[in-house]
Amino acid sequence: MTAELVRGQNHPLPQVRLEVRVSAGKPVVAGATLSDENGKVPGIEWVAHPGSPTLPGLEVSKQAAADHRLAFDLGALPESVHRVSVLLALPTGVGGPVRFGAVAAPFVAVTGLDGSEVASYTITSLDSESAVVALELYRRQGAWKVRAVGQGYAGGLAELLADQGLPQAHQLAGSINEAVAQGLARSVAAPPPRTADGERSRHAATPALGPDQGGATPQGTPGHTGHTAAPQAGSPGGPAQPDQSAVTQPAMPGAGGSVNYSHPGRQTAAPPPPPPTAPPAQPGQSAQPVAGDATGWSMDERLYNQVWGMFEDLARTTAAYRSAVDFAESRMEQELDKVLSDPRSRIGGQGDAAREAARAKHGLLVDQARVALDRDLAQLTAESEVVEPALPPAFARWDNPVWHGYRVPMEIPMALRLGDLRLPESSTLSIPMLVRLPLERGLWIDSGRGSLDGSLADSGDLRRLAMDTAVANAARLLAVYPAGEYTVHVIDPAGSGASALAPLVQTGVLHAPPAVGAAGVNDVLARLTQRVDLVQMAIRGGAADALPPDLDTAEQLLIVNDFPHGFDDRAVTQLRYLADEGPAVGVHLMLVADREDAAAYGPLLDPLWRSLMRLTPVPDDHLADPWVGHAWTYEPSLIPPGSQVLHHVLSQVAAARRS
């Protein structure tokens, strides 16, 4: 179970390879220092920060962002390192809050590489501090532990680093703040040019949560390829290990042997290059986009990596545009301040001429940035137009013709589309939001927030749309798994979701009719909780033969409607247990709930909320990318009005299950 730490409390770490996940609500700088046995940091080469993100045994983010994932391999740290301090600081010189008391309390969690949470800590009681030591990972009698620290510093990074004994504290703090302020540490350069054959190399990372979601980062937005590997041992700033793309879940014994939850066909060797693509572009022309021009073992994997690359390209080119606009505005303000500071220039035509010149320079810089952005958007739009029709069913929208030729698959795909993402600067360009399978976290479909444009604010309509979203996602999960390898349960205490659930009920793809009333709720939760317990005991004890012969070895999805209405404390505790322990043994949650209603139940539901990935039934800008923390507008993947595709797909799933 997860240990929820308070300040000063420690907890043993069960493994040396882990992640520290940070959710701060506002962009923060994340870093780490290595200390000797006296708790001192000998030099700047013992500090990992955005300008120098890798050290032997650890890697931190390259930019300020609202959410971070820091990778650690404690076994690869030099023997002289006895303590690792995780630091958070508010960036200076870029606007925004200058003290932690003005933002939501930062939340940090230590997790395993499989996403399982080991310990968490919410840093409260901060006020004027602009830098804080969040956690310490330290050696004690040959083992590693984590301690919740929460020590803040009103003097910022300089005071924090000086307190740890770093001789060059002020110089290093200044260079970090300057790099972040100028955008140098945020990797916001325009996308790299294509090679002659149109191939490009893309590296996957995991998008962060949006500013309204605490807790661990979601696995999803396009293409979650696993967890960032810890850097190799070597000199500070050395290269990092390759991404570990396939995190193998614990095998679940069954009647036919163990079930391997890792993606079939995933291999550890480098994949072969993609097949020949379009001919090189003529000088002065952009390369013609081709579907599947990324690397990978199969077309599906190449398309998956290509979608991820498009997401990264759009994030970076938009960041470059915003950085250029910010620079133009800052330069214009400086020039105007200079003019107005001289009383002689405020009178007559001299001041007016200086103001016009400053505004003209501003307009020229913004126009140049927009031209570059439009060029990149045109290329990405052209790529999207060839990639979207080529996507397999698991990656495709419901209106893609590929669904009309749907057949129940023979193997599990590597990812699933849960919606689309877009930015304000590119409202006509959407990037598929792909989430790796099997799911590492459950889903919270928020039924209590209206659309961004205010066109949909009725609570009844929102609840109906939330259930439609849940059914569409459940149908997609059933459709992409082989027959009999995915089981769906439904809890609908008051029966309010009957209309939305009709396609699942009428086609017969559910394990049983939706559970209603207190007795039905308790029965379903008890059976799934017992299943998690049995499989966990079998895995830990190596006693596969002790499992009941009638145990369903398929992955399980529990849809819960109208939560938390109709649920007592015991049921809430069981749901939290399923959310925490279930994914590792193939049990997943999908809660349809109003976040504001759930908040009225007090802090009891906060851990459950943090453990799930929030989606919305209407467009909402609550997700962020892992590079610069853009607020991406998420759009759910819904069935087109009047379409029979859902009935067609579910009917085939039901027929395959019966046969």
DSSP assignment of 482-550 equals PTTSEEEEEE-TTSTTHHHHHHHHHHT-SSSSPB-HHHHHHHHHHHHHHHHHHHHHHHHHT-GGGS-TT
Distance (Å, rounded) from C-alpha 199 to C-alpha 289? Answer: 10
Sign of the C-alpha dihedral, residues 418, 419, 423, 424?
negative
Distance (Å, rounded) from C-alpha 391 to C-alpha 397? Answer: 9
Provide mean pLDDT across the span 201-210.
39
Residue 577 scores a pLDDT above 80: yes
Using the 8-state DSSP alphabet, how is residue 364 labeled?
A: H
Q: For the CA atoms of 545, 551, 553, 559, what is the dihedral angle to 10 degrees?
A: -150
Contacts of 50 (CB under 8 A, 6+ apart): 29, 31, 60, 61, 62, 63, 64, 176, 179, 180, 185, 186
The top-scoring range by mean pLDDT among 353-357, 391-395, 493-497 is 391-395
Distance (Å, rounded) from C-alpha 137 to C-alpha 13? Answer: 9
Distance (Å, rounded) from C-alpha 414 to C-alpha 653? Answer: 19
Asked if omega into 564 is within 30° of 0 (cis), the reply is: yes
Q: State the helix-helix crossing angle for 169-182 and 156-163, rounded to 10 degrees.
A: 150
Higher pLDDT, 650 or 454: 650
Distance (Å, rounded) from C-alpha 29 to C-alpha 316? Answer: 18
631-646 pLDDT per residue, tens: 899 999 999 999 999 9
- Burial group, residue 406, by CB count within 10 angstroms (0-12, 13-18, 19+): middle
Q: What is the pLDDT of residue 206?
A: 38
Residue 72 scores a pLDDT above 50: yes
Distance (Å, rounded) from C-alpha 336 to C-alpha 357? Answer: 10
- Residues β-bridged to residue 331: none
| First-residue to last-residue Cα distance in the chain | 40
Predicted model pTM: 0.60
16-27 pLDDT per residue, tens: 999 999 988 788
Distance (Å, rounded) from C-alpha 48 to C-alpha 86? Answer: 10
Judged by average pLDDT, the poorest of 220-229, 263-272, 554-563, 650-659 is 220-229
Q: What is the pLDDT of residue 216?
A: 35
Q: What is the pLDDT of residue 435?
A: 92
Provide mean pLDDT across the span 194-221.
38
Provide mean pLDDT across the span 598-607.
72
When pLDDT is cut at 50, 70 and 90, the band that residue 481 belongs to is: very high
When pLDDT is cut at 50, 70 and 90, the band that residue 249 belongs to is: very low
Q: What is the pLDDT of residue 296?
A: 83
Q: What is the pLDDT of residue 602?
A: 67
| Averaged pLDDT score across all residues of the chain | 80
Contacts of 566 (CB under 8 A, 6+ apart): 493, 494, 518, 521
Using the 8-state DSSP alphabet, how is residue 552 labeled?
A: -
Do 301 and 414 contact (CB within 8 A), yes or no? Answer: yes
The top-scoring range by mean pLDDT among 265-269, 481-485, 536-540, 569-573 is 481-485
Distance (Å, rounded) from C-alpha 373 to C-alpha 377? Answer: 6
Do 185 and 63 contact (CB within 8 A), yes or no? Answer: yes
Residue 229 scores a pLDDT above 90: no
When pLDDT is cut at 50, 70 and 90, the band that residue 51 belongs to is: confident
When pLDDT is cut at 50, 70 and 90, the band that residue 260 belongs to is: very low
Nearest Cα residue to 390 out of 274, 281, 284:
274
Higher pLDDT, 550 or 432: 432
Strands (E), 36-116: 47-48, 54-55, 58-59, 65-73, 83-89, 107-112
142-171 pLDDT per residue, tens: 889 999 999 999 999 999 999 999 988 999
The alpha carbon of residue 422 and the mean position of all alpha carbons in its chain are separated, in whole angstroms, by 15
- Burial group, residue 541, by CB count within 10 angstroms (0-12, 13-18, 19+): exposed
Distance (Å, rounded) from C-alpha 69 to C-alpha 24? Answer: 12
Q: What is the pLDDT of residue 20?
A: 94
CA distances from 329 to 326, 333, 359 (A): 5, 6, 9
Sign of the C-alpha dihedral, residues 112, 113, 114, 120?
positive
Nearest Cα residue to 218 out of 451, 21, 394:
21
Nearest Cα residue to 41 out of 140, 136, 163:
163
CB atoms within 10 A of CB 226: 19
Judged by average pLDDT, the poorest of 135-149, 278-292, 436-450 is 278-292
Do 416 and 394 contact (CB within 8 A), yes or no? Answer: yes
Q: What is the pLDDT of residue 204?
A: 37
Residue 571 scores a pLDDT above 80: yes
> For 232-235, which contacts have Cβ atoms below 8 Å and span 24 or more sequence positions?
232/56, 232/76, 233/56, 233/57, 233/76, 233/78, 234/56, 235/56
When pLDDT is cut at 50, 70 and 90, the band that residue 195 belongs to is: very low
Q: What is the pLDDT of residue 399?
A: 93
Alpha helices for 154-261 (secondary structure H): 156-163, 169-182
Residue 234 scores a pLDDT above 50: no
Residue 299 scores a pLDDT above 60: yes
